[in-house]
Amino acid sequence: MGTGDTAQAFLIAGLAAATAGCGLAAPGRTMHSMGEVRTKFNPGGIWTDDAGKPIQAHGGGILLVDGVWYWHGEDKSPDDWNGTGAGRTSWVRCYSSRDLLNWHDEGVALAAVRDRAVHDLSPGRVVERPKVLFNRRTGKYVMWMHIDTHDYKYARTGVAVSLSPAGPFEYLESFRPDGAESRDMTVWQDADGTAYLLHSSEGNATLHISRLAADYLHPAGEFVRAFEGRYREAPAVFSHAGRYYIVSSHCTGWKPNEAEYAVADAMLGPWTVAGNPCAGTDEQRKLTFESQSTYVLPVPGKPGRFIFMADRWNAGNLPDSRYVWLPLRVADGKVEIVWRDAWEMR
């Protein structure tokens, strides 16, 4: 593993400057008002927003809209969390940023439903791993998420829509995609607009990859079974040089385990398992830097360079779970994620 920060650093300096005058109103403009200005990623540290509050966007994903990054994730904030979920008002929170380091809280993207006896978004339910895509045909932002009961037996996927990336999103429904169980999940949008749902199914033993209908609101009816019997969850997808990659974890609940990645020439496979993408000590490699994958974000203008986004869950205090964002690079078709105590994109 190389030690030179320069070699590993991402050169997107000027991104904020380049996008600052893009004409969008509020998002990102008020940042730095109260919190400190961040210049580096601190994997595993407490990450506060521009008002100085710890960011609540666990199991999240990122969407770039007109030069503004939107981070949607699970809101497990102490205000809403008392172990039973009874005090919960918010499921998904959204943050905006122009530099990926300094984030402004855009508020509740998906609210809890408190006035119905039984609802997918009732405070005592499970809503995890929200991911948002923009559908060019309908002009709608579509959020997909894992919906469950506390025993994780409901095993469904939920869909919500909004006309704005920050929400609020209107919840539509949940279902078992293609009739199959669905727990950890993510979505992927190809350059031609075709989108896919990737979800742990069949008791988490096998990952299903399901093509979505043109409006992204339902599966289109075509899916493949991947990594049969390998118990992969927490899928995070990206593409590079015409190939597709999935980084995933094994199934050990909130405890970290060894990541594995796989490669394919098409989203519907066939997929080839390629091994552990983490570089470093045995301990770092075995436990994915004490974290679990959630998303891989391409760095614009830097082919082969990505940010690996992962969660360091704190099972005893889920709101205090930390974010582990690390440099991921693809070189000669091989994926490598390296640990950095602190790093910056230059």
| Cα separation values, 239 from 13, 85, 236, 328, Å | 23, 37, 11, 12
Residue with tokens 């930390």, as numbered in its chain:
322
Question: In terms of CB distance, is 104 or 250 closer to ligand GAL?
Answer: 250
The kind and range of the H/E element at 276 are: none
Contact 337, 278 (CB under 8 A): yes
H-run or E-run covering 8: helix 5-8
Residue closer to ligand GAL (CB basis): 146 or 305:
146
Q: Which of 233, 260, 290, 336 binds ligand GAL (CB under 6 A)?
A: 233
Window 270 to 299, contacts with ligand GAL (CB under 6 A):
292
Q: Which of 75, 80, 99, 128 binds ligand GAL (CB under 6 A)?
A: 128
Smallest separation, CB 332 to ligand GAL (Å):
30
Query: Which helix (H) or strand (E) element contains residue 302?
Result: none
Question: Does residue 227 contact residue 233 with C-beta atoms inside 8 Å?
Answer: no
184 counts as binding ligand GAL under rule CB under 6 A: yes
For ligand GAL, the binding residues in 242-271 under the rule CB under 6 A are 251, 253-254
Q: Which is nearer to ligand GAL, 257 or 284 (CB)?
A: 257
**Quick one: 234 or 299, whose CB is closer to ligand GAL?**
234
Q: Which residues pair with 107 in a beta bridge?
A: 94
Binding mask 31-70 for ligand GAL (x = CB under 6 A): ----------------------------x-----------
Query: 304: which residues sit within 8 A by CB, 6+ positions away?
Result: 240, 241, 329, 330, 331
Which residues in 78-191 belong to E strands, given as ranges?
A: 90-97, 104-111, 126-135, 140-148, 156-162, 170-175, 185-189
How near is the Cβ of 184 to ligand GAL at its closest, in Å?
Answer: 5
Report the residue number whose CB is nearest to ligand GAL.
253
Q: How far is the CB of 293 from ligand GAL (least distance, A)?
A: 9
* Identity of the residue, 140 or 199, whose beta carbon is nearer to ligand GAL in the bound complex: 199
User: Footprint of ligand GAL on this chain (CB under 6 A)?
Assistant: 59, 128-129, 184, 233-234, 251, 253-254, 292
